[in-house]
Amino acid sequence: MNFVCKEISINDEEFGCTVTLSEKEDSGFDYEETVEEIMNATDQYLMLQKTYGEDEFEEDYYYIESRDFEKSGELEDFEIFLTETEFIITFENEKYVIQISPNRKVFDELKKVLSEFTECKGKLNIQ
């Protein structure tokens, strides 16, 4: 999957963190869209989610989701390559290349969250 990202959403909360790269800018919920229109949307996106274990005996859970639901699921062995213009993730013989253009603040936050995201599993290469 390859696309140009127009919006980067980062949520780092008590129970986990989520990073979403989307081809479409989020303008809020459109109440006039039908369920069928929402389900058949062609906009590309990639969501990475890490849910923290509830105690020291439970492992963190890693999840990836994209418009292609067949390639969504638990994330085990992965590598992320990040520059100021590109986000690339490889996992299970899949490679997603996403063109990004975040401002400095968003890029710094993205680097921080991805560093935490990959600390136990995966690899992160920032250039």
Bridge partners of residue 22, in order along the sequence: 7, 45
Phi-psi region of 16 (alpha: psi -120 to 50; beta: other; left: phi over 0): left
Cα R_g (the chain), whole angstroms: 15
Give the pTM. 0.82
> What number is the average pLDDT over the span 108-117?
94
Report CA-CA distances (Å) from 39 to 18, 34, 61, 64: 21, 9, 26, 18
Q: 20-75 pLDDT, tens per residue?
A: 999 987 644 454 555 555 445 568 999 999 998 877 778 889 999 998 888 899 99
